[in-house]
Amino acid sequence: MGKGQCIIGDWMYICIIILQTLTVQATGGTGSSPSNVNKSGVSRTMIKERFKSFNIQFEELHAKQSQWAIPDQELQDNLRLSVAEVLLPAYRSFINRFGHHVQHGKNPHKYIKYSAEGLEQLLSQFFRG
């Protein structure tokens, strides 16, 4: 396995962890109170926590990966593209499916910090050093 494949493999693992953070399941067994469960059977508190957790993890990754320098432009571009192809569709899907539960509440910007386009811009800063 080449250097680029190893880095991409590591990034795919990181993306999977982030995507698992975004995954929201029905509240069965989560301990959510019935008053906190909306019509779709999803806890608003759980959705907020998923957004908060994603934001924290992405901000940590952005801080680290923006400092990494990959001098090979083709490898840099391929790595960013691979990450974007995994992360952005899942994030868009999550926002489309659950964003309205947070957007109509108090302080939605606290939980939905990034648009998909904003994430894409931040990803473009990765690996430039």
Q: Is residue 19 part of a domain?
A: no
CATH assignment of the domain containing 87: 1.20.1280.170
Residue 60 inside a domain? The answer is yes
Domain that holds residue 116: 1-9+44-129
Could you tell me if 70 and 126 are in contact, meaning their C-beta atoms sit under 8 angstroms apart? Answer: no
Amino acid at 11: W
The tokens for 38 are 């909306």
At 2-43, the pLDDT tens digits run: 555 555 566 666 666 666 666 644 333 444 444 455 555 678
Q: How many domains does the chain have?
A: 1
Q: Evaluate whether 93 touches 119 at the Cβ level (below 8 Å).
A: no
pLDDT tens digit sequence for 33-58? 444 555 556 788 888 988 998 899 88
Long-range contacts of 36-45 (CB under 8 A, 24+ apart): 38/101, 42/98, 42/101, 44/101, 44/102, 44/105
In a domain, 34, yes or no: no
